[in-house]
A and B are shown apart, each in its own frame.
Chain A
């Protein structure tokens, strides 16, 4: 992998927290909230974390998906998380798939981004729609470590409480993260509230807050539209089954995986764009909330200001106030989720402190549709 002597083995220690992929998560309860986002903020994210180096060096450019200028916040409650890794290199060990399961809650904000390949051929064969996850937190430390160290996802360990809000069939979540209430030098880290979400009951409901002409959800709350939504679920499953999952319901994530040098922590010793696929199947129990009944509040306090700056246009200093988000749509559903197809999109060439290259770069930019055909035309590019 790196260097002329062959691959570098990872020595599995007894204390390792890693759980091998692929992963299978049945019966996931997903609450989804969508709001309109300033596209220039998404562009800033792309330029900072994805468009590393010059266009000539990297061979692609990430840009916002202007046809979908929305942020999607998902709260996922996984009752069962299974490592589907059957084999093991340690014959005396119980295979991971037989060890048991983990349950956890995860919250993330997904931003759609489009990778455009360079030149007419690159545009055709190396462009792809992917999802950046600038905010992702989980309640399980093992999931955190795997996500950060293997996939490069910036998973943080949070306190996440989920439950029913005031009304039956409603939802609420309360989330805390370690943070600092202000930037004074002596301030001690503590667990601070960063996010609160509450909804009204799912539709149909007697609580009609929105004139039907203004609300997508209330428009869909009629009996006819409810029936239509039920049919859409069936259609979604039918697509998966009839196409033998060649046209799956899926989300490909893109993230920056990087590690610091120990003595010079401003230097990266490894940097790569990595991708994986989360495949949603067997979608069921799809229900809308009245988005006017939804309250989403981020806490613009202390150290959280830096994070919230990615999603909102804020003053330079933390306001100490709640940022209230107007949801454009809110809904819930259950699904089975598979997590697989981890791969490197680009290995960034690494320079030491003297500017000498110590590892080479490489790319694997083929679009998902082009991937099965690529072998006919070209191998993996190295530089």
Chain B
């Protein structure tokens, strides 16, 4: 076995990761089927150069994903260490959607032994130590961000502001600075007791929520088989936690287009001790995508939103300007009160994302690495 040579700078937080008292908000968003399948084909079903023995398929019918905001006040590695250096706090905003993972034989035949897995195309995190761990151990596309959140306290139910390093407009003279990425507000009116009605209004949404709730143990235990619509997949498999598959890849030092390492990696997310789940009606939830050249490809690829009307050309703001909600539709979109971190530049238009419904909860979470499903370039062998 080739040992990883430990060092101060590559001492990542190693899985399994545990989170005590994580506060979660899950926003259910409908996305076009072809966008989801397109992403799976580009990243997971690609011959790179050999094909993995799996075929990833988007859920049929209307397709949903979740934008998930989690505040981790106490996050740590479950790998026993004698020393400290283990506890961190971080907040994350991630985009995930479920898909079928079909095993494929050498004869290119698809097995029926299908699993439901979650795919996470991108995430934002406000802790650099966790960002490196997430990227370098599991291969997640995690990006460093400023994440400011406020919950309840008489105002809106939730407000989350996310800023990242980027440029509003690509041009040779532009300078990278902190720009707004997401602005989320859940109004107090959004809380509803009729969550079940919203879910039952669509069979596709019903099935999606069945998969989701099975993953986080909102639903009854496995013996209640048959009470959930889970797309023909064994609810028992779903109840073991959410399996998340990732393409873990790193560039070659010399050739930009070549990967030095590329593999399919599987991890598992389990929520336990789920408390206080609440439903929220999507029509009272305002999620804004702040439209910049740095992020528009992400937004159009995963949410299929259209660009806002071309705003008047503006000079790059000096970092430090928060920017109010102007008459021309440019600026911080969620009310006149600016978010706490006024170093984020919000001087750009935004696009509203439709939300089907949202769920909030408090839980303990555990994320474990299940293994490497397939390593590319090893003559088709599994490298465990």
Contacts and interface: CB of A to CB of B under 8 A. Distances in A.
A369 to B, nearest CB: 20
A188 B89 CA distance: 8
Given A11-B249, A184-B84, A342-B254, A267 B3 contact: yes
Nearest to B256: A20
A8 B249 CA distance: 10
Given A188-B88, A265-B4, A11 B42 contact: yes
Contacts of B137: 260, 262, 265
Contact of B84 (A93, A98, A101, A183): A183
A337 interface: no
A189 B4 contact: no
Contact of A262 (B89, B248, B293): B248
A138 B8 CA distance: 16
A136 B8 CA distance: 11
A119 B293 CA distance: 55
Nearest to A307: B8
Give the most central of A145, A178, A262, A349: most B CB within 10 Å: A262
Given A94-B170, A266-B4, A303 B377 contact: no
B131 interface: yes
Contacts of B83: 183, 185
A343 B253 contact: yes
Interface string B106-143: 00000000000000011000011101100111110101
Interface stretch (A31-39, A121-129, A147-155): A147-155
Given A15-B122, A20-B256, A100-B176, A10 B249 contact: yes
A342 B260 CA distance: 13
Interface stretch (A208-216, A238-246, A352-360): A352-360
A265 B138 contact: no
B89 A272 contact: no
A99 interface: yes
A89 B129 CA distance: 32
A187 interface: yes
Given A189-B88, A262-B372, A18 B170 contact: no
Contacts of B139: 262
A144 interface: yes
A182 interface: yes
Contacts of A141: 128, 131, 143-144, 165
Interface in B247-275: 247-263, 265, 267
Contacts of A185: 83-84, 86-87
Contacts of B5: 48-49, 52, 256, 258, 268, 271
Nearest to B376: A8
Nearest to A178: B129
Given A260-B12, A261-B372, A263-B370, A344 B253 contact: yes
Nearest to A94: B170
| A: contact size bracket | 35 or more
Interface string A344-374: 1000111111110011000000000000000
A49 B10 CA distance: 12
B174 A99 contact: yes
B377 A3 contact: yes
A54 interface: no
A154 B121 contact: no
B171 A263 contact: no
Interface in A52-87: 52, 85
A266 B3 contact: yes
Interface stretch (B43-51, B321-329, B342-350): B43-51
Contacts of B128: 141, 144, 156-157, 178
Contacts of A187: 84-85, 87
Contacts of B260: 1-2, 8, 257, 270, 272
Given A8-B258, A183-B83, A265-B12, A100 B175 contact: yes
A223 to B, nearest CB: 40
B384 interface: yes
A5 B122 contact: no
A140 interface: yes
Interface string B346-384: 000000000000000000000001111001111101011
Contacts of A155: 9
B384 A352 contact: yes
B172 interface: yes
A343 B258 contact: no
A48 B261 CA distance: 23
Interface of B: 1-5, 7-12, 14-15, 42-43, 46, 48-50, 74, 79, 83-89, 121-122, 127-129, 131-132, 135-139, 141, 143-144, 165, 167, 170-176, 247-263, 265, 267, 293, 297-298, 301-302, 369-372, 375-379, 381, 383-384
25 contacts: A1-B258, A1-B377, A2-B376, A5-B377, A8-B261, A8-B262, A8-B377, A10-B252, A10-B256, A10-B258, A11-B249, A14-B121, A99-B167, A140-B176, A149-B251, A155-B9, A178-B127, A183-B84, A266-B4, A270-B250, A271-B4, A302-B84, A343-B253, A352-B1, A358-B381
Interface of A: 1-11, 13-18, 20-21, 48-49, 52, 85, 89, 93-94, 97-103, 135-136, 140-142, 144-145, 148-152, 154-157, 178, 180, 182-189, 256-263, 265-272, 274, 276, 302-303, 306-307, 310, 342-344, 348-355, 358-359
Task: Pick the 9 closest A-B CB pairs, nearest first.
Answer: A154-B9, A100-B174, A3-B377, A141-B144, A15-B122, A157-B128, A2-B377, A5-B49, A10-B259
Given A10-B251, A180-B85, A185-B83, 9 more contacts: A1-B259, A3-B49, A9-B259, A14-B297, A48-B5, A185-B86, A261-B372, A265-B15, A267-B2
